[in-house]
Amino acid sequence: MKAAMWALLVLSVGALLFLLIRQPGTRRVLSAIGVHVVVAAFLLYGAHLLSGYTQIVLPINPWTVGLVAVLGMPGLLLLGALKLTLI
């Protein structure tokens, strides 16, 4: 029963992705999201390189990358400010 549920889940996710990719503007949106995630990871890596000078260590995990991908540079500054004030 458990295997059948997993098979149904994989099949439905595959069908949803197939239908999503067939839409005309989806590739542009997915590539824009990918570019934002990559830029966010590089920004966090740059902040990590500067942590020796600033003593602010921000972890590079999906939550911080997602926040910086959505908010950009203000999100990175927000994380730094939260790290200074709360921890």
pLDDT reported for residue 5: 94
Residue 47: which residues within 8 A CB-CB, separation 6 or more? 56, 58, 76, 80
Please tell me the pTM assigned to this model. Answer: 0.70
Indicate whether 6 pLDDT > 90. yes
45 is a domain residue: yes
The answer to whether residue 63 sits within a structural domain is yes
Is 82 part of any domain?
yes
Q: What is the pLDDT of residue 51?
A: 87
- What is the enclosing helix (H) or strand (E) of 80? helix 73-86
Task: Return the pLDDT at 74.
Answer: 92
Domain count, the chain: 1
pLDDT surpassing 90 at residue 12: yes
Q: Is residue 75 part of a domain?
A: yes
Is residue 81 one of the residues assigned to a domain? yes
Task: State the residue range of the domain holding 31.
Answer: 25-86
Structural domain contains residue 72 = yes
Q: What distance in Å separates the CA atoms of residue 71 and residue 57, rounded to the nearest whole number?
A: 19
pLDDT digits 0-9 by tens, 14-51:
999 888 888 888 888 888 889 999 999 998 999 889 88
**Which pLDDT score, from 0 to 100, does residue 19 have?**
87
- pLDDT score recorded for residue 11: 95
SS3 5: helix
Q: Is residue 32 part of a domain?
A: yes
